């Protein structure tokens, strides 16, 4: 699961994490007791229509501004380690 979530957990983090998550899951599992047959899932809490804005071009962040906060930059892009070292 940690791999799926792109999280590294240290050896000393694993045991408490497993214990705490199990305890939380025990509480959460109580919704399994409810009869929810035929109940539609909530996708949004308030009614919205016409939520899309007009499809008009507008300026976006200048490239140098978008790159300014990056940990590493190479020319016009974000610099990252190679996918397969």
Partner 1 sequence: MTDILGLSAAQAAAAIEKGDLGAEELFVFYRERARADADANGGGLNCFTWVAEGISDTPLESGPGWSDGDGTAGAGPLAGVPLGVKDLFCTKGVPSQSGSRILEGYRPPYTASAVTALTGAGATLVGKTNQDEFAMGSSTENSAYGPTLNPWDRGRVPGGSSGGSAAAVAAGLAPWALGTDTGGSIRQPAALCGIVGLKPTYGSVSRFGMIAFASSLDQAGPLTRDVTDAALMLRHMVGRDHCDATSLQFPHEIELPSAERLDGIRLGIPEELTGEGIEGGVLDAFKASLARAQELGAQVQNVRLPHAPHALSAYYILAPAEASSNLARFDGVRYGMRAPDATDLLDMYTRTRHDGFGSEVKRRIMLGAYALSSGYYDAYYGRAQRVRTKIAEDFRAAFAEVDLIVTPTSPTVAFRLGEKTQDPWSMYLNDFCTVPMSLAGIPAISIPCGLSEGLPVGLQIAGPAFSENRLLDAAHALERALGFDGSEARA
* Contact residues: partner 1, CB under 8 A: 1-10, 13, 17, 20-21, 23-25, 27-32, 34, 36, 39-46, 48, 51-53, 58-62, 65-66, 68-72, 78, 80-85
Smallest distance, partner 1 to C-beta of residue 19, A? 10
Smallest distance, partner 1 to C-beta of residue 83, A? 4
Exposure string (b/e) for 43-82, b if CB count within 10 Å is 16 or more? eeeeeeeeeeeeeeeeeeeeeeeebeeeeeeeeeeeeeee
């Amino acid at each position: 699961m940690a791999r799926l979530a792109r999280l590294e957990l240290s050896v000393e983090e694993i045991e408490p994490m497993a214990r705490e998550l199990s305890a939380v899951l025990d509480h959460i599992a109580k919704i399994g007791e409810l009869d929810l047959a035929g109940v539609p899932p909530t996708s949004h809490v308030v009614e919205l229509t016409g939520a899309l804005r007009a499809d008009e071009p507008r300026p976006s962040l200048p490239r140098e501004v978008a790159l300014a906060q990056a940990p590493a930059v190479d020319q016009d892009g974000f610099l990252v380690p190679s996918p397969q070292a």
